[in-house]
Structure 1
Amino acid sequence: MSAKTPHPFDTLTPQRVVESIESLGLWLPGEPFALNSYENRVYSVTDDDRRRWVAKFYRPGRWSDAQILEEHAFLAELGSAGVPAGQVWSDSQGRTLHEVDGFRFSLFTHVPGQAPELDKPEHLFALGSLIGRIHAVGRERPFAHRLVFDIPAMVAESRERVLAAPWLSTRQRAAYERILDALLPLMAQSAWPASALQRVQGDCHLGNMLGRDDDFALVDFDDCAMAPAIQDLWMLLTAQTPEEWQMQLSEVIEGYEESLEFDRRELEWIETLRTLRLIRHTAWLTARWDDPAFPRAFPYVAESGYWDQHLRTLEQQRLALDSPRWLA
């Protein structure tokens, strides 16, 4: 897409957002407030009854209707089980996915609160408990349409996207291919069996966890997928020393095992998942460059220094895969 070609989200003006939501029978006396989201466009809105909602306008062409509706069905299952997760609103006919002028969108209940503090044991325990409850529901049945964490397929897709980007020098392209060729067999050595795959939230970073004290909810299931359980846990382990890391792990697993037994063998997959996330994140930035929000937010991606740093980071992950830290 050329720089002069408008992106579909360019036409999603505040007025169109309001008109789309009001087409569902709600009335919004105020303006929508844009929330921090790049993949989709997400807004906080308040209706005339002072109820707060989060309106998510899905990126055109990313997910199929079936994939989005699986996200919504998973949330409904969690709600029925009493698990705190942002619930999706349905109209009088039970529809949760709506469309106006080519934009698919949904309304979610507003979840108040702040992000947890991962240096607090009580927060780690509460998050482990919450994720365990989510996984207890997630194990009941598989997704039929959502993404499946498949290392070769995901790395191949990312490689194609990155090598199509215009910013890498000849040297950087060669280095990127060499490093991925070295990483892939190391990742495959610690790959998970199909039996370890289950429904997970898929993107458990701090921005998707909200609450107060030690009472949290998980929001934004846009990346829910079939993946090993550790995918929803490893980003909680942020410590920089073995002692602190073991403390975090102990609290998270203790909370998790209020609902489910955690298979400690999954800890061996953390560095593989970290490597996969690093590879996919950079591929995502390059794939979304036609969206004007991305060059504004991530201008450094077009600079040579970014790619040299990315290559160094991937090389460090090769060493980490050879010798995973703190698992002995």
Structure 2
Amino acid sequence: MTADKALDFSFSTLTPDLILDLIESVGIFPSSGLIPLNSYENRVYQFVADDTKRYVVKFYRPQRWTKAQILEEHEFAKQLMDDEIPVVAPLILNGTSLHEASGYLFTIYPSVGGRCFENDNLDHLEWMGRFIGRIHLIGQKQSFQHRPSMQLADYLDGASEQLLASELLPMSLETPFITILEQLCAATKTFYQTDGIKQFRLHGDCHAGNILWRDGPNFVDLDDARNGPAIQDIWMMLSGDREQQLMQLDTMIDGYEEFCSFNPAELKLIEPLRAMRMVHYMGWIAKRWCDPAFPRSFSWFAEGKYWEQQILAFKEQLSQLHEEPLRLMSGL
């Protein structure tokens, strides 16, 4: 990814009139207004066109991904769709899935409806395991050449720098926050050992919010697709206490193994990956704070109470890193 320190994160030039003009430039003509969807990293809108179909247009955050990296994501989605895996892939319009105009890269998708995925439903989890296994079966055929792999430097070091530079960190909490942040990062680096673990193309952000359920799952938003270990697309489906997670994990892996073999050594990566996500999420908000959408949507990030809660959450996660990893009940 390229540095974006000097960017205007406001998308201020992306006016409704410009959005409509850009959509029409690729041969689709909206007949309704634009409905903003829940996306902060990019700008995403749903609309109805004159063919009565619903579409979604996605404008990529400038300089986050290169064209080559975006096109790799699109090609991966197409390969999955061609294999009849329910992934929402971009439309090919005028011979391409990625369009550029007025300083923006954008893509048009078909709009897919559905309800939120219930990650406490074991039948649904087994179904999810099968589809993730099928996604990984395709993902293993090649690696991303332009998109990055999951790296500690990106998820921990870069995020930590953003947090320590943030003016929102209360002075009264600097010492305890920095102390636990450093301890959590050091422990995560110790436990995130991937020697001997295969890494390949993943969804990358496979959580309940990116699954729409309608007679089965529909996978959306491959924006964070990258190379990584298989468990990255599995662990975020787990919820509840340890016993519940063990049952959920066993159910998913049973479905997964119908299509793709799973290396149980990856189970030791679950808690390090959780720690990486916690730190990265905070760093992401700090990094994007100059985008006006972030103070509006994450106002609690500027409150001392939130940072106090994160100190406690980091302490709990540090303790969790030293616990025995989850193990499959099936004895795989």
Same-fold call, TM > 0.5?
Answer: yes
1:49 maps to: 51
Q: Give, in angstroms, the shift of residue 108 of structure 1.
A: 1.3
Mapped to 2, the partners of 1:195 and 1:315 lie a distance apart of 28
2:87 maps to: 85
Runs of 4+ in 1 over 6 A off after TM superposition: none
2:76 aligns with one of 52, 68, 74? 74
Question: Which amino acid counterpart does residue 305 of structure 1 have in structure 2?
Answer: K
Q: Give, in angstroms, the shift of residue 313 of structure 1.
A: 0.9
Paired residues of 2:268 and 2:326 also in contact (CA < 8 A):
no
Paired residues of 1:35 and 1:43 also in contact (CA < 8 A):
yes
Mapped to 1, the partners of 2:208 and 2:64 lie a distance apart of 24
Aligned residues with identical type, % of pairs: 38
Distance 1:13 1:324, change over 3 A: farther
Mapped to 2, the partners of 1:151 and 1:7 lie a distance apart of 25
The number of residues matched between the two structures is 321
Mapped to 2, the partners of 1:173 and 1:65 lie a distance apart of 39
Matching of residue 37 in structure 1 with residue 39 in structure 2? yes
Q: Give, in angstroms, the shift of residue 237 of structure 1.
A: 0.9
Q: What secondary structure is seen at the aligned counterpart in 1 of 2:11?
A: helix
1:175 maps to: 176
Paired residues of 1:149 and 1:227 also in contact (CA < 8 A):
yes
1:61 maps to: 63
Matching of residue 298 in structure 1 with residue 298 in structure 2? yes
Question: Which amino acid counterpart does residue 150 of structure 1 have in structure 2?
Answer: Q
Q: Give, in angstroms, the shift of residue 40 of structure 1.
A: 0.5
1:312 maps to: 312
Q: Give, in angstroms, the shift of residue 186 of structure 1.
A: 2.2
Mapped to 2, the partners of 1:181 and 1:240 lie a distance apart of 27
TM-score by length of 2: 0.91
2:157 maps to: 156
Q: Give, in angstroms, the shift of residue 253 of structure 1.
A: 0.8
Per-residue displacement from partner, 1:181-222 (whole Å, max 9, x unpaired)? 322332233322374211111111212101224x11211000
Question: Which amino acid counterpart does residue 175 of structure 1 have in structure 2?
Answer: P
1:240 maps to: 241
Paired residues of 1:118 and 1:124 also in contact (CA < 8 A):
yes
Distance 1:194 1:28, change over 3 A: farther
Q: Give, in angstroms, the shift of residue 153 of structure 1.
A: 4.3
1:146 maps to: 147
1:275 maps to: 275
1:256 maps to: 256
Unaligned runs of 5+ in 2: 1-6
Per-residue displacement from partner, 1:251-279 (whole Å, max 9, x unpaired)? 21111112101112211111001000000
Distance 1:153 1:241, change over 3 A: closer
1:121 maps to: 122
Per-residue displacement from partner, 1:213-266 (whole Å, max 9, x unpaired)? 4x1121100000111111111011102251x22221122111111210111221
Q: Give, in angstroms, the shift of residue 117 of structure 1.
A: 1.1
TM-score by length of 1: 0.92
Mapped to 2, the partners of 1:302 and 1:200 lie a distance apart of 33
Q: Give, in angstroms, the shift of residue 324 of structure 1.
A: 4.1
Mapped to 2, the partners of 1:25 and 1:233 lie a distance apart of 38
2:21 maps to: 19
Question: Which amino acid counterpart does residue 317 of structure 1 have in structure 2?
Answer: Q
Q: What secondary structure is seen at the aligned counterpart in 1 of 2:115?
A: coil
Unaligned runs of 5+ in 1: none
Mapped to 1, the partners of 2:26 and 2:226 lie a distance apart of 29
